Structure 1
Amino acid sequence: MEIYRYDALSSTNSELLELSKKNAKSWTVVWTSHQTAGKGYAGSNWVSEKDRNIAVSVLIKSVLKYDELIYFNQWISVVLFQFLSQFSNDLWIKWPNDIILKNKKIAGILIETHKADSELNIILGVGLNVNQLDFGSLPKAGSLASELHRKFNLEEILSGFMTELENAYLEIENKNWENIKNSYNQHLFRRNQVSTFIKNQIEFQGIIREVDGKGRLVIENLEDKKINAYQHKEIELKY
C-alpha cells in the first residue's frame, strides 16, 4: 500500500484519478485533512473544516463487472461501519452509503470508475468527519467528536481503517455477494421502523424492508399497502 499525504487538496478522488492515469499501482492511497471541494454521492458536496477530518481515496484495480459495483458499494459501507463500531453501538448504514452516528451523518462514500485495458479501476473515496464540531446550517451533520465528546487522532483513525479495508477485501475477491448484502441490510438505518418519506414532494408513511439485489431501497407504503423499490434520488427519508 503506497500512501500519499497532502496538506490540502480540492478532491482526493480527482487527484487519485490523475495518478491512476499515470499507472499508479492498486492500493495506492491519497489522503488529506483539508479537502476544499470534496465530491459526494450523486453530485452532492462534502464540506470539511481544515485539519479536523479525513478525506481518503483508494485505487483498487479489479476485474469486477459494472453490475457488481452494487455489492462493492455495500461492502465498503459495511467495512466502514464495522471499523467505526468500536467507538459506538449507536451506528447505522443509511442507504445508499452514508454512516449515521446518533442520528447524525458522520461519513459518506463516493465510488468512481474507469476502464483500463481488461481491468476496472475503482477509485474509492471516503469522507469521515472526525473532530469537526461546527456544521453551520447542516443540522443532520456530525462527527465522531461532536457525538462522542472526545478528540481523535486522525493518523490513528486512518491507519486503523486502512488495515480493516485491506483485511476485508477477501470478501470481494471471493464474491461473497449474499453475505455482503445480508450484512448491509442487518445494519440498515431505520429498517423495519415506521418512517416518513418524500416522493414527488408528497409525504407518506412507510417501512424500509431491505435494499434489494439491484441496490434499490424497498419500502412498504403504509397508506396503500404496496411494496415498491426505489433508486437513489427517487425517494427521500425524513429523520
Structure 2
Amino acid sequence: MHIVKLNATTSTNTYLKEYARELDSKEDILVVTHTQLEGRGQRGASWESEPGKNLTFSVFKRVEGFRADRTFYMTMAASLMVVDTLKHFGVRQLSVKWPNDILAGNQKICGILIETVLRDGLYGVILGVGLNVNQKVFQEAPRATSLVNQTGKIHDLEEVLNRFLEAFYTYAKRVEEFDFTGLHKSYEQRLFRRNKVSTFQLPEGELLTGIISGVSKNGKLILQLEDELSREFDLKEIKLLY
C-alpha cells in the first residue's frame, strides 16, 4: 500500500479523488492527515475532529470489473472493518446505524463516506473514515463519543490505524471472493435498532413508525410498517430518529 501523510487538507476523500485521477496505480493508496479542515459525511454533513486527536483518512482501491449494482457490499464491508477494529480495542455495544455510521451504544464513534471513481466505468472506490480516538469533548456533535471516552484509555493513533488496515484487507478479500451472503448477514446482525419499533422522518417532515427488518442487496433500508407491508427506502427518503 502506498501511504501519503499530510499535515492538513480540506478532505482526504477529495485529495485522494484528485490523486487517483492523475495516477494509474494498481496499488492501494492511503491518505491520512493530522488536520482535516472540511471533513464530509453523509447527507452533506460536516465532521468535527480535533487536530491530532483522531484518525481522519481515506483508502483508494481499484475495483475494475466490479458490477455497479454490488457496490453496497463495499459499504457493508467497510462498516464491519471499523466494528472489528473498535471491538479489538474494547469498545462495547457496537452497531451500524444504516447505512454506515458506527455507534457505541447510541453515540456515534465513526463516520464512513464511500465514493466511486469512474474511468470508462467503475474504476475504484474511495473509503473515507473519520474515527474518534482521543477527543473527549465534542462541541458540535453532542451525541458523539470516542475510543478514550468508551475505554478510559488514550490510544496510539498509529496502532489503531494499523489494526484497521488489517481488518481492511480481511474484508477486502471477502469482497473479492464474492462472499456477499456472509457480508450481508454479518452487516444485518449489527444493524442499529433492527427488529425494534422505531420512528422515522420523511423528507416532508412526516413521521413514520416501523421496524427495521434488514437491508436490500443494493443498500435500501427495509421497514416493516404498521399495515404489515414491507417497504424499501433509500438514504434521501428517510431518516431514523433516536
What TM-score bracket applies, with the shorter chain setting the length?
Answer: over 0.9
What CA distance in whole angstroms lies between the structure 2 residues aligned with 1:26 and 1:109?
22
How many angstroms apart in 1 are the aligned matches of 2:207 and 2:170?
Answer: 42
- Note the 1:37-116 alignment, pairs <5 A: 37-63=38-64, 64-86=66-88, 87-116=90-119
Structure 2 counterpart SS, 1:7 = strand
TM-score norm. by structure 1 comes to: 0.93
Give the aligned partner of residue 18 of structure 1: 18
Distance of aligned partners of 1:117 and 1:214 in 2 relative to their CA distance in 1, 3 Å threshold: closer
Distance 2:122 2:205 in 1: 41
One-letter identity of the residue aligned with 2:36: Q
Q: How many Å separate the matches in 1 of 2:150 and 2:200? A: 25
Structure 2: unaligned runs, 5 residues or longer: none
Confirm or deny that 1:7 pairs with 2:7: yes
Matched ranges for 1:143-222 at <5 A: 143-199=146-202, 200-222=204-226
Gaps of 5+ in 1: none
Identical-residue share of aligned pairs (%): 37
TM-superposed CA distance for 1:88, in Å, is: 2.3
What residue identity is the alignment partner of 1:6?
L
Look up the SS of the partner of 1:189 in the other structure.
Answer: coil
Distance 2:134 2:198 in 1: 30
Alpha-carbon spacing, 1:220–1:12, altered in 2? closer, same or farther (3 Å): same
d(CA) in 1 for partners of 2:11 and 2:97?
23
User: Is the CA contact 2:48–2:140 (under 8 Å) kept in the aligned structure 1?
Assistant: no
Q: Aligned AA for 1:219? A: L
Please give the alpha-carbon distance, in whole angstroms, between the structure 1 residues aligned to 2:56 and 2:199: 31
| 1:35 Cα offset (Å) | 0.7
Corresponding letter in the other structure for 2:46? N
The letter for the 2-side match of 1:71 is Y
Contact 1:197/1:236 (<8 A) preserved: yes
Q: Is 1:226 equivalent to 2:234 in the alignment?
A: no
Aligned residues: 238
8 Å contact from structure 1 (residues 185, 210) kept in 2: yes
Residue range with higher mean Cα deviation, 158-167 or 133-142: 133-142
Deviation digits for residues 126-154 of structure 1, max 9, x if unmatched?
A: 11111111211422222111233221111
Partners of 1:118 and 1:232 lie apart in 2 by: 23
Q: Which amino acid aligns with 2:184?
A: K
Secondary structure of residue in 1 paired with 2:142: coil
How far, CA to CA, are the matches of 2:37 and 2:117 in structure 1? Answer: 24
CA RMSD of the aligned region, Å?
A: 1.6
User: Quick one: which of 99, 116, 135 aligns to 2:138?
Assistant: 135
Cα shift at 1:173: 0.9
SS at match of 2:80: helix
Q: Matches of 2:160 and 2:239 in 1, distance apart? A: 31
Q: How far apart are 1:119 and its partner, in Å? A: 5.7
**What letter matches 1:60 in structure 2?**
K
- What's the CA shift string for 1:213-235, capped at 9, x where partnerless? 2211111123x333211111211
